[in-house]
Amino acid sequence: MSFGDPNNPYGQQGQQPGYGQPQGPPPGQPGYGYPQQGQPQQPPGYGYPAAPQAPMGYGYPGGQMEMPGLMKAARVILFVFAGFQILAGLVIGVALGVLSSAAGDNEAAGLVGGLGIFLGLLLVGLGALSIFLGVKFRTGGTGIRVTTIVYASLSLLGGLGNLVGGDGSAAFGGIISLACSGIILASMVNGQASAWFSRPRY
């Protein structure tokens, strides 16, 4: 059986592949053992495809977000404020209560005693609010930030009133209140505070 002249380049056209000729994959279809064009080559496995690469981690890359330094300082100031407010509330309440008792059972004494109780409870309540805000700096959201801004603004107004209307110790207390309230307010209105309180929590 003759298959034509092997040196004739036109003699092989139109012939069907036989037993002695290697067969390749049909055009456009991958075959077993023939790599596909455009596909990256992977090392052979044990019959299973390679698993996809696991993600590096969840949340922020590199670990948890760190609280900004100015906010840490404001948090400490809130705790210090709380101590002074609770102490001042107890002292004012007790002092005005004693004065009311010493004045007798007249209307003025009752007014002084009621004012002392109101101021004492107000200062103790503000101290408790300061502690609550300082504790919530770690886990709180935008509501804690807004409440702290309002609190610092009111403290600024109170310190300004003490500075203008008071003398001696009241003016000195007003200066301290203005400085501390200014630090708290500045720590709440910058971009770092916005990013901290609006960060995702997992």
pLDDT of residue 59: 43
- 3 state SS of 3: coil
What pLDDT, on the 0 to 100 scale, is given for residue 149?
93
Residue identified by tokens 């400085």 is 179
Q: Amino acid identity, residue 166?
A: G
Does the predicted model carry a pTM greater than 0.75? Answer: no
Q: What is the DSSP letter of 44?
A: -
The Cα 135–Cα 200 span in angstroms is 19
CA separation for the pair 97, 106 (Å, rounded): 14
When computed from its CA atoms, the radius of gyration of the chain, rounded to whole angstroms, is: 40
Structure tokens at 51: 């698993």
Q: Which pair of structure tokens corresponds to residue 201?
A: 């929590």
Q: What is the pLDDT of residue 55?
A: 47
Sign (positive or negative) of CA dihedral 89, 92, 98, 102: negative
* pLDDT tens, N- to C-terminus, the chain (202 residues): 555 566 665 555 555 555 555 555 555 555 555 555 555 555 555 555 555 554 444 444 445 778 888 889 999 999 998 998 899 888 888 887 777 776 666 676 677 777 878 888 888 999 999 999 999 988 888 899 999 999 999 989 988 887 877 666 777 777 888 888 899 999 999 888 888 888 886 6
Q: Give me the pLDDT at residue 79, please.
A: 94
Q: What is the DSSP letter of 42?
A: -
Torsion-angle region of 104 (φ positive above 0: left; ψ -120 to 50: alpha; else: beta): left
- Do 89 and 120 touch, CB atoms closer than 8 A? yes
Angle at 58 between CA 52 and CA 63, to 5 degrees: 130
Helix (H, G, I), strand (E, B) or coil at 131: helix
pLDDT at 12: 52
Burial of 155 (0-12, 13-18, 19+ CB in 10 A): buried
Nearest to 148 by CA among 81, 90, 66, 64: 81
